[in-house]
Amino acid sequence: MNIVIIGAGAIGGYLGAKLHQSGENVSLIARGKHLETMQSQGLRIIEQDSETVVHPSVTADYGVVKEADYVFLTVKAHGLLDIVPVISSLIKPETIVIAGQNGIPWWYFYRHGGKWDGTRLVSVDPEGMLRESISPDQIIGCVLYPAVILESPGVIRHIEGNRLSLGELDNESTERCRQLAIILKKAGFKAPIRKNIRQDIWVKLLGNVAFNPISALTRATLIQIASFDKTRFLVKEMMTEVANVATKLGIELPISIDQRIEGAAGVGSHETSMLQDIQYGRPMEIDSIIGAVVEMGNLVGVAMPYTQAVYACVSLLNNSVKNT
């Protein structure tokens, strides 16, 4: 299979490396020093019990990549709009698109059914460019769980986790979803097919929506936030608000808020993606992780005072990063 990974940073690079090792024809699209190092020295993957160097095809030029059977979009959510004009050459009618951004995806209400079916979330797709460029019929929902970091250009360290949950947007059981799961399992991933992929989105989001922005604002790790009474209280209040939005949208969360907090604390001193972004002076994924949830809260009539307050603060912080 021809597989293209757009945004071969930490998670995209790790995914691409494992698929390459399993025998798939993988092309990584990246940029900057990371791209240059992968081209000259290969991509080094460091895991708990092994260290390997792989040499998949790597480029910054979308035009040289063959037509793709699968396109994994692993750029940050705010970077999706930047690549829309250049990915049309890769995405043909038969191409399957797997979007692996954190937070609420732009396609959330597409093929959703019910009252909100087809609703466009302005926070993540302001002008509808993503909807116009990528047909919902081509998308397979995906939630990425591996914790990985880009340790240095060309070097990716895997911290923990190997699960990628999959699911059709309309919750149907399909052969194309089963085939994708087979490919991912061959590469060493757990790839469960969910009856409702949106439930997985909310379970992961429940932690990200609180821990990510709080970590960026305080420069604290997961265990520090969960262990300090005042921030733990704030996390719990934000999670409660988010869970209320999920409930209004018909999502039954299979895990309690306390369990979700303990799960995050169990990861230890891991730095969230937003904290890493701030440390390196990069814009954060605030709109998909927290802005979209606030928009959905307004849509369904759920008050979110704690979440809105944190959203305001982290938005200001993000603006300061963009303007430096």
Q: Residue 132 contacts by C-beta under 8 Å, 6 or more apart in sequence?
A: none
**54 near 17, Cβ under 8 Å?**
yes
**Nearest Cα to 26, choosing from 57, 67, 70, 65?**
57
Q: Per-residue confidence at 49, pLDDT binned at 50, 70, 90?
A: confident
Q: Output the pLDDT for position 266.
A: 86
- Radius of gyration of the chain, Cα coordinates, nearest whole angstrom: 19
Q: Output the pLDDT for position 86.
A: 87
Work out the average pLDDT over 233-237: 98
What is the spatial distance between Cα 200 and Cα 194, in angstroms, rounded to a whole number?
8
The tens digit of pLDDT for each residue in 243-275 reads: 999 999 999 999 999 999 998 888 878 788 899
**Its pTM surpasses 0.85:** yes
Q: Per-residue confidence at 234, pLDDT binned at 50, 70, 90?
A: very high
3-state secondary structure of 50: strand
**281 near 324, Cβ under 8 Å?**
yes
3-state secondary structure of 143: strand
Q: What is the DSSP letter of 72?
A: E
**CA distances in angstroms from 145 to 115, 197, 201, listed in the order given:** 30, 13, 11
Q: Output the pLDDT for position 166.
A: 98
Mean pLDDT rounded to a whole number for the chain: 95
**118 near 136, Cβ under 8 Å?**
no
- 195 given a catalytic annotation: no
The tokens describing 162, both together, are 């190997």
Task: Read off φ and ψ for residue 172, nearest 5 degrees.
Answer: -80, 155
Work out the average pLDDT over 225-242: 97
Secondary structure percentages of the chain, helix, strand, coil, to 5: 50, 20, 35
Q: Domain ranges in the chain?
A: 2-195, 198-322
DSSP string of 152-196? ETTEEEEEE--BEEEEETT----HHHHHHHHHHHHTT-B-PBPS-
**What is the CATH number assigned to the segment(s) 198-322?**
1.10.1040.10
Q: What is the DSSP letter of 289?
A: I
Tally DSSP H helices, then E strands, for the chain. Answer: 13, 11
Q: Per-residue confidence at 3, pLDDT binned at 50, 70, 90?
A: very high
**192 near 165, Cβ under 8 Å?**
yes
Q: What is the DSSP letter of 273?
A: H
The tens digit of pLDDT for each residue in 117-166 reads: 999 999 999 999 999 999 999 999 999 999 898 999 999 999 889 999 99
Residue 81's Cβ-count burial label (10 Å; 0-12, 13-18, 19+) is middle
Residue that is written with structure tokens 């959510």 in the block: 77
Q: Output the pLDDT for position 90.
A: 86
Catalytic residue among 204, 230, 236, 248: 204
Class of domain 2-195: alpha beta
Work out the average pLDDT over 198-207: 95
**56 near 28, Cβ under 8 Å?**
yes
182 pLDDT higher than 90: yes
The tokens describing 73, both together, are 């979009």
Q: Output the pLDDT for position 251.
A: 97
226 pLDDT higher than 90: yes
